[in-house]
Amino acid sequence: MPEVVEELRALARDLLAKGTVKTVIGYKAERLANRVSPLIITSPDRAGELVWNKYCLNNLAVYLTRGEVMRRGPAAVVVKGCDARAVCGLLQEGQIARQNVVIIGMVCEGVGEPLLEMCKSCDVHVPRLADYIIPKEAQKPAEAAKTPAEADAEVARLEALTPEERWKFWREKLERCIKCYACRQACPLCYCKRCVVEKNQPQWISTSAHAAGNFAWNAIRAMHLAGRCGACGACERACPQGIPLMLLNKKMAKEVALHFNYRAGYDPAATPALRTFDARGDNDELFR
Amino acid sequence: MSATETKNPVIWQPKIIAFVCNWCTYAGADLAGTSRLKYDANIRVLRLPCTGRIDPLFILKAFERGADGVLVSGCHPGDCHYNTGNYHARRRWIVFKPLLEFMGVDSRRVQFSWVSAAEGAKWADLVNNVVKNVRELGPFKGYQQMLEEVSKMGKV
């Protein structure tokens, strides 16, 4: 077993045995070597089931807002750098208390086989927010934040098209949406107990999987994640229809960085961009 | 917006939904009226307490109900009746408009502005301008096609 896994297991065992945390949220191996699944343990005896490898795709921060996990008491969560950005967002938004979460940050050279596209432009190989970094000897984050919005080529390509072409692009992509809400379920920041799509007095967004409802749903989800999305890509991976949801999130991140000089999930003490304003500094060009 | 209206360009008139705040723009529109200023009648004004109350969902809903363009207007920065509502709204629109554009909505279909209670003339100009722009663009075919598909499915 690789040393890093031993280190992770030893830490989890220790945290549970000492009672620092009541649960540890991590990954466990599956029968297929290239699959892992989330594992939530409450006893130090089971720490040996935890694994860490390049197939650990899930963003486990999603469990930090689940009552069935958190009501047991403080939880430790195994995170990659991008997942830590989501934990940071949850702390900023007051969804979890700092003393109720122990962040086990894994040094991550990118996940997926082949390597995920988003990992190639990653600037959080060492999580910026963590109580423990594994392996221990890893240096604290030295990487400078890269260009906002991950300087995405596909976003730039779409921006260069005409409105009609973009409309056509999204019509084709969103046509496939079946309104399963897997994107929402996989997203650690989509934690509303009652999502706007489930509100029906009035019915803001049609729940049927038709063109108009799909447009409204995906537009409003992107808007609700503006300045909050930590770019972990969980929504896109969860989408059974292969809709490039991260394009919308990246576009929003780009606008937020451009106008408000803010990047989500880097500073737990910062106020999220869309929860504040700058009376003099905000761009007024749009409002003629 | 009925389908027949869009099919016949001769009788087509743009339908613009305006979301305005109670304290400034609505009063400004009122002033335009009492000043007997004439402006295009293609606008439907919806009055809200503050621009901060205008959810992006309102705009999507307006398009979903057949609007060809949307106008959002409120108090100038610094003049908000509730002190900060329009500042929050401004941040919201700064990112929401690029999102709509990114998804293929022509930027001229969504117009944001500040109109004070004293700017009746500005309101009239603004409305004329928006109507002119949307008239040039024509009906919002993209959205209306989606709606037609939906009504064929027997669900609106």
State the SS3 of A51-98. ECCCCCCCCHHHHHHCHHHHCCCCEEEEECHHHHHHHHHHHHCCCCCH
Shortest distance between the Cα of B61 and any Cα of chain A, in A, equals 7
Shortest distance between the Cα of B35 and any Cα of chain A, in A, equals 22
| Strand A132-134 relative to strand A101-106, pairing | parallel
Residue A200's CB is within 10 A of a number of other CB atoms, namely: 9
A275 → chain B, closest CA residue: B88
Verify cis geometry, omega within 30 degrees of 0, for the bond prior to A202.
Answer: yes
Please, are residues A128 and A122 in contact by the beta-carbon 8 Å criterion?
no
pLDDT number for residue A47? 96
Pairs of CB atoms within 8 A across A/B: 124
A98 shares its domain with A153: no
A153 shares its domain with A130: no
Q: Name A133's bridge partners.
A: A105
The average pLDDT across A27-38 equals 95
Is the pLDDT score of B155 beyond 70? no
Query: φ, ψ for residue A102 (rounded to 5)?
Result: -110, 120
Does A95 reside within a domain? yes
Among residues A107, A6, A132, A114, which one has the least CA distance to residue A55?
Answer: A114
Does A284 reside within a domain? no
pLDDT number for residue A208? 87
Does B18 reside within a domain? yes
B152 → chain A, closest CA residue: A210
Does A199 reside within a domain? yes
Does B48 reside within a domain? yes
Which range marks the domain in which residue B89 is found? Answer: 14-152
Last residue of a domain, one of A83, A100, A134: A134
Residues of A whose CB is below 8 A from B96: 223, 226
| Residues A176, A182, A186: CA angle, nearest 5 degrees | 140
Does A213 reside within a domain? yes
Residues of B whose CB is below 8 A from A169: 104
Higher confidence at residue A15 or residue A288? A15
**Local structure of B87: helix, strand or coil:** helix
Last residue of a domain, one of A87, A104, A134: A134
**Local structure of B16: helix, strand or coil:** strand
B55 → chain A, closest CA residue: A220
Please, are residues B61 and A196 in contact by the beta-carbon 8 Å criterion?
no
Is the pLDDT score of A244 beyond 60? yes
Read off the CATH number of the domain in which B77 is found: 3.40.50
Is the pLDDT score of A45 beyond 90? yes
Higher confidence at residue A137 or residue B59? B59
A174 shares its domain with A86: no
- Distance (Å) of CA A42 to CA A23, A28, A98: 5, 14, 20
The average pLDDT across A275-284 equals 92
- Test B104 with A196 for CB contact under 8 angstroms: no
A113 shares its domain with A177: no
Identify the residue whose tokens are 């394009």.
A247
Verify cis geometry, omega within 30 degrees of 0, for the bond prior to A163.
Answer: no
The average pLDDT across A251-263 equals 93
Shortest distance between the Cα of A185 and any Cα of chain B, in A, equals 21
Q: What is the largest CA-CA distance in chain B?
A: 48
First to last CA, chain A: 63
Banded model confidence at residue B9, pLDDT cuts 50, 70, 90: low
Banded model confidence at residue A139, pLDDT cuts 50, 70, 90: low
ipTM: 0.91
Tell me which residue in A212, A274, A288 faces B91 most closely, judged by beta carbons.
Answer: A274
pLDDT number for residue A141? 59
Does B8 reside within a domain? no
The rounded Cα B111 to chain-centroid distance in angstroms is: 6
Please name the amino acid found at residue A102. V
A212 shares its domain with A103: no
Please, are residues A247 and A155 in contact by the beta-carbon 8 Å criterion?
yes
Does B9 reside within a domain? no
Shortest distance between the Cα of B97 and any Cα of chain A, in A, equals 9
- Test A248 with B77 for CB contact under 8 angstroms: no
Number of domains within chain A: 2
The rounded Cα A285 to chain-centroid distance in angstroms is: 32
B49-75: burial string, b at 16+ Cβ within 10 Å, e else? ebbbbbbbbbbbbbbbebbbbbbbbbb
Does B59 reside within a domain? yes
Mean pLDDT of chain A: 92
Does B141 reside within a domain? yes
Separation between Cα atoms, residue B3 and residue A42, nearest integer Å: 60
Residues of B whose CB is below 8 A from A168: 104
H or E element that contains B88: helix B85-102
A132 touches chain B (CB under 8 A): no
Residues of A whose CB is below 8 A from B70: none
Among residues B117, B121, B122, B50, which one has the least CA distance to residue B88?
Answer: B50
Q: What is the pLDDT of residues A147-174, one digit of tens each?
A: 554 568 899 999 999 999 999 999 999 9
Tell me which residue in A166, A216, A259 faces B60 most closely, judged by beta carbons.
Answer: A216
Shortest distance between the Cα of B115 and any Cα of chain A, in A, equals 9
- Test B94 with A255 for CB contact under 8 angstroms: yes
Q: What is the pLDDT of residues A70-126, one digit of tens each?
A: 999 999 999 999 999 999 999 999 999 999 999 999 999 999 989 998 888 888 899
A221-260: burial string, b at 16+ Cβ within 10 Å, e else? bbbbbbbbbbbbbbbbbbbeeebbbbbbbbbbbbbbbebb
Banded model confidence at residue B149, pLDDT cuts 50, 70, 90: confident
A170 touches chain B (CB under 8 A): yes
Shortest distance between the Cα of B6 and any Cα of chain A, in A, equals 18
- Distance (Å) of CA A112 to CA A36, A56, A117, A120: 11, 8, 9, 11
Range of lowest pLDDT (A148-162, B50-64, B111-125):
A148-162
Which range marks the domain in which residue A65 is found? Answer: 3-134
Does B93 reside within a domain? yes
B96 touches chain A (CB under 8 A): yes
The average pLDDT across B122-144 equals 95
pLDDT number for residue A118? 87
Separation between Cα atoms, residue A46 and residue A61, nearest integer Å: 20
Tell me which residue in B90, B106, B155 faces A210 most closely, judged by beta carbons.
Answer: B155
A21 shares its domain with A111: yes
**Local structure of A118: helix, strand or coil:** helix
Number of domains within chain B: 1
